[in-house]
Structure 1
Amino acid sequence: MKIKAFDAVVLRKLQPEIEAALAALGRRHGITIRAGTARFRESTAELKLELAVIGGDGKSARREVEEFAKYHAMYGLEAGDLGRVVILDHEEHCLVGLAPNRPKYPIVMERLRDGKVVLCTEDVIEKITALRLLKPS
């Protein structure tokens, strides 16, 4: 595909190729590289990249997890709440971290069906903390 101008559709089509190229580079260096948000104009585009080291457990570090470790108490959460699974919109989601720099959507969940990261409002905290009463950590 020869790109003549950038728009959301073009970037969505290009994203799998970018992700594959980044994954190969990441494997070569023992890190993970994720493509983040993109901004574009007609003839230029900017793509945010997140690089993370891979720990001894084989999982890559995530900024959201680091933020959770620092700020969970501020949201009324406990350390054991990380990884808790709740039902949102009839689907299972796992709490994977916090994004306090996003005041409207600070709760970072991952939809278990497909691994899609979903940003949620603080009202999700009630569902997470209610599970503590049912299933202690």
Structure 2
Amino acid sequence: MKITSFTRAEHTRLSRAIEAALGKVADDFGVDLSCGGGLYGDHNPHIKIAVSVRDNGSGMTSAEASFRRYAAMYGMQPDWFGKAVVIDRTAYEIVGIKPNAPKYTVQIKRCHDGRIFGCTVSTVTRQLGIKAAA
């Protein structure tokens, strides 16, 4: 079926087809490829493809390795990765770190729906009962 106009439905359908077609390439290179986001419409539509490296032999994901590498820089413990915190009566899990983010450095995942948010280091350290480094 040929695409005549690139609507949201066409974007989703094409993204799924691309992911399925790139499955063998991803396996050959040891990476995960996923289509997420992009732009649809009449003017310059595109689909974003995210690449993430699979297990590199350490048993850790790239997000966990990054968190463990940079945690001490922000006054956190490397073993906080995966710990649960409760913020405003909602349960979250620490899932990553964004060293280039000026304010919301810690990535947390809301437990009930898996949505990822950014939060400050002080929020996480307060929830874990540890005084934040200055």
TM-score (norm. length: structure 1): 0.62
Of 124, 130, 134 in structure 2, the residue corresponding to residue 128 of structure 1 is 124
1:83 pairs with 2:79? no
Aligned residues: 128
Q: CA deviation at 1:72?
A: 1.1
Q: 1:3 to 1:80 in 2, by over 3 A?
A: farther
Aligned mates of 2:119, 2:113 — CA distance in 1: 21
Q: 1:22 to 1:3 in 2, by over 3 A?
A: farther
Whether contact under 8 Å (2:71, 2:77) holds in the other structure is yes
Where structure 2 has 5 or more consecutive residues not aligned to the other structure, the ranges are none
Aligned mates of 1:101, 1:71 — CA distance in 2: 11
Amino acid at match of 2:109: E
Equivalent positions of 1:4-83 (< 5 A) are 4-5=5-6, 11=11, 15-16=15-16, 18-19=18-19, 26=26, 31-39=31-39, 42=42, 43-54=44-55, 61-62=61-62, 64-83=63-82
Whether contact under 8 Å (1:30, 1:53) holds in the other structure is yes
Whether contact under 8 Å (1:86, 1:127) holds in the other structure is no
Q: Give the 3-state SS of the residue equivalent to 2:104 in structure 1.
A: coil
Q: 1:88 to 1:25 in 2, by over 3 A?
A: farther
Match of 1:119 in 2: 117
Q: Give the 3-state SS of the residue equivalent to 1:114 in structure 2.
A: coil
Q: 1:14 to 1:46 in 2, by over 3 A?
A: closer
Aligned mates of 1:84, 1:111 — CA distance in 2: 12
TM-score (norm. length: structure 2): 0.63
Write out per-residue CA displacement over residues 7-27 of structure 1, whole angstroms, 9 at most, x where no aligned residue: 6x7545655555555567645
Where structure 1 has 5 or more consecutive residues not aligned to the other structure, the ranges are none
Q: Give the 3-state SS of the residue equivalent to 1:105 in structure 2.
A: coil
Write out per-residue CA displacement over residues 27-51 of structure 1, whole angstroms, 9 at most, x where no aligned residue: 5765433334535563430413213
Higher radius of gyration, 1 or 2? 2
Aligned mates of 1:33, 1:107 — CA distance in 2: 24
